[in-house]
Chain A
Amino acid sequence: MLLRLKIFRFDPEKDQGPYYQTFEVEADPMDRLLDCLNRIRWEQDPTLSFRMSCGHGVCGSDGMRINSICGLACQKLVRSYKEEVLIEPLPVFRVIKDLVVDLDSFFEKYFSIRPYFITKTIPPDTERKQFPEQHQQFEEAIRCILCACCTASCPVNQNKNTEDYVGPAALVRAFRYLFDSRDEGEEERIKLLDEKAMVWGCQTLWKCTEVCPKEIPITRQIGQIKRRIYERKNRDKTT
């Protein structure tokens, strides 16, 4: 089938401002949108820029806005679209060129939640014990591939007045460590997360959950962090 891709273009080196360019690609219904983008780059316009790496939804490189919904171009098949597809860079982030955005702020916010194990006791000679039901608590969160689709889709992050909100992706990782029975940093994690720009920035709008390519129940996990903070505060009050 013939697919038209209307693509956001911008190169600060030569363009006054962004514009849209339409390309036509002869595609198999089972082709990925990523295949179409590559064919455009190889056969029609080598200056088109976008990131990609694994090509099957594991590395998280090719997050972009496809018909106004953030997703991975390698996970979307041509057969899901009719005639024309609108392709734009992820919102929220600064555009460097075409579909390539500056993810520095994304990784800085990610780092701000202390995305590593905090332990105080010396580990045993073998593994720390963890029962399957404890592992299950955070198992869905380890599917996260840091593609930034959730944070780019979050209306709170999109709003200039609240853009310092750490965003759903960072909170998924915060959840992953907070709910890991082996982690011993609950106190500092709760203190860190109990802030307006952290977990309380979430307005429970579900956009992150809707777009997550790995089907992580993000909003629910952020809600669980909120509840954990609330419970801990109550416990501290009563003791």
Chain B
Amino acid sequence: MILKHDIVIVGSGLAGLRAAVECAGQVDIAVVSKVLPTRSHSGAAQGGITASLGNEEEDRWDWHFFDTVKGSDYLGDQDAIEMMVKDAPRVIYELEHMGVPFSRTPDGKIAQRNFGGHTRDFGKRPVKRACYAADRTGRVILDTLYDQCLRHHITFYSEHYLLSLIFDKERCVGMVIYNLSTGELHLIQARAILLATGGCGRIYRTTSNGFASTGDGISLALRSGIPLEDMEFIQFHPTGLFPLGILVSEAARGEGGILRNRMGERFMERYAPTVRELAARDVVSRAILTEVREGRGIGGKDYIHLDLTHLGEEIIQKRLWEIASFARTFLGIDPVFEPIPVQPTCHYLMGGIPTDLDGRVLKDEKGTVAPGLYAAGECACVSVHGANRLGCNSLLDLLVFGRRSGQAMKQDLLHYEFSPLSEKHLKPTARAIEELLTCAGREKSDIIRQSMQSIMMDYGSVFRDAEGLKKGIEEIRNLKERYRKIKVSNSLKAFNYELMETIELGHQLDLAEVILLSALERKESRGAHWRKDFPHRADQDYLKHTLVLQTSKGLEVKYKPVKITQFHPEARVY
């Protein structure tokens, strides 16, 4: 059977569901997701979503604009950033009108809190810009949007995994999906397809990302001839719960939490004298790891302390309930009385599939549109985050560009008719699956995945240099060779997670190589990309976006210019 929908959205996180709600009731739409509804990783977002509402103190969209550009280390495209921050208040009110239960100020408005890198008056001092629902902001927005989807009777293919995209000449016209509960493959014919498949944090060993964040959509775009943009920019969130890497929201610092080293020193005063703990994430993560490297980690180990003990029980219970429960559950530590051990954890991919301001995928450095294919959310690169994303700007990105993608798809349907598909389109994918199940090799995906995660921690995380990156690329290429000899030993149909994880690993390995190569070629330090051998930003050579393309000869690196409209690069000091 061939399924058919005008629009198919892959991914049921915030970007995907926001696009779905935008199209509901007007066209035939379906959402494909490898997890059940509300299990997507957007739900793990804790701290908030930014907008210059000015509910707690004066704020202006142009301050938000400047902060985001500076946060991006001047690599974000300023036309996109300006559009996003201007749209932000509308986004918040729209969510509120849908029912999102935001926390409130005493006078009944949406409450706002401090977050790293968000300042008043172009960097003078921190400003309360992040709208929040305690520390479960992502989850309540996800629930609300899912409820809206139910109300509109949107079709869900839950626990269906995207295996391949189908193109008719240049145009994306369908896909093959794998039903995890039955093991069957299905073809879906579509007039427009949105990739909203999220990030790829699971490439790294220490990560805040869920098990499903394996970068499938990004990798499938690469395999379809789409270049990937700015993949060297991987954000390490400063405060992952040690040793699990679980996110401890920046809201903890926004509410007044202090970072301390072995001597109890508030070390951020040395790295970011103006805003201290509320500097951008790349700055704080480097500071923590510098403390650790210089022997000032707690007990000489790889972590430092996040101290909330001075906040008092009421604030912690009311505004930081989830993270307090994480510390209690996973470490047996009560943050009301004891500091929380934290370490940087792989959190977010700034790069991804290049798109225009309306989610249309761009297939070259000239900005040519790949017809029928759209991307939004963490898998996409608009680029609003440039070299480093500010906290709480990601939920904003998901909702602004999720909605715009939905609008663009609806409009563009006028130009796209269904292109007929037949069972022959299924065959290459079916054959690839068959090969994994019948391979004569002896390699195990679990072992290869662990090696990949170690390689990426060693050579592709916060501190990088040419020697390590070259070594990393070589080792990843070796793993790719070994991957070809993986034997999937489980041949059962229902819930064959071994098969799915093996396919995911193939995507992860491809992306790992792209990340390391992009990082090797960028011979400067900017935002989250820090080169020990090139410790300064080099605007004359590298104020440009990286594009990595898969060709028959391997990966090819190209560049495209950054859009600068208002703020010209300055020294980035917090």
Contacts and interface: CB of A to CB of B under 8 A. Distances in A.
Interface string A65-102: 00000000001010000000000000000001110100
B492 A142 contact: no
A27 interface: no
Contacts of A142: 101, 133, 136, 140, 143
A127 B93 contact: yes
Contacts of A52: 211
B322 interface: yes
B494 A49 contact: yes
A127 B109 contact: yes
A49 B499 CA distance: 12
B341 to A, nearest CB: 12
Contacts of A57: 325-326, 329
Contact of A54 (B41, B148, B498): B41
Nearest to B445: A42
A128 interface: yes
Tell me what chain A mostly uses at the interface: helix, strand, loop, or mixed. Answer: loop
A18 interface: no
Contacts of B246: 55-56
A116 B147 contact: yes
B418 interface: no
A97 B497 CA distance: 12
A114 B39 CA distance: 20
Interface string B325-356: 11001110000000000000000000000000
Contacts of B444: 42
A129 interface: yes
Contacts of B330: 30, 32, 56, 77
Contacts of A107: 37
Contacts of A61: 35-36, 39
Nearest to A102: B181
Contacts of A49: 494-497
A145 interface: yes
A14 B139 contact: no
A215 B317 CA distance: 13
Contact of A145 (B133, B139, B497): B139
Interface residues of B, number: 62
Contacts of B321: 143
B446 A43 contact: yes
Contact of B101 (A47, A123, A135): A135
B210 A53 contact: yes
B490 A46 contact: yes
B493 interface: yes
B104 A130 contact: yes
Nearest to B210: A54
Given A49-B497, A96-B181, A59 B108 contact: no
A39 B326 CA distance: 22
A13 B147 CA distance: 34
A58 B446 contact: no
Given A58-B139, A59-B210, A96-B494, A135 B38 contact: no
A54 B43 contact: yes
A43 B444 CA distance: 9
B212 interface: yes
Interface in A91-129: 96-98, 100, 103, 107, 111, 115-117, 119, 123, 125-129
A98 B494 CA distance: 10
A49 B496 CA distance: 7
Contact of B329 (A75, A100, A126, A135): A75
Nearest to B109: A127
A183 interface: yes
Interface string B185-214: 000000000000000000000000011100
Interface string B302-325: 000000000000000000011001
Given A56-B326, A142-B140, 9 more contacts: A14-B492, A41-B497, A41-B498, A51-B39, A57-B329, A123-B97, A125-B93, A126-B93, A180-B99
Q: Which 8 A-B pairs have the closest CB atoms?
A: A117-B99, A129-B108, A49-B495, A42-B446, A46-B498, A54-B210, A46-B490, A116-B147
12 contacts: A13-B492, A13-B494, A41-B497, A42-B446, A47-B496, A53-B210, A59-B210, A75-B329, A111-B150, A126-B53, A132-B104, A145-B43
Interface of A: 11-14, 30, 32, 41-43, 46-47, 49, 51-61, 75, 77, 96-98, 100, 103, 107, 111, 115-117, 119, 123, 125-132, 134-135, 138-139, 142-143, 145-146, 176-177, 180, 182-183, 215
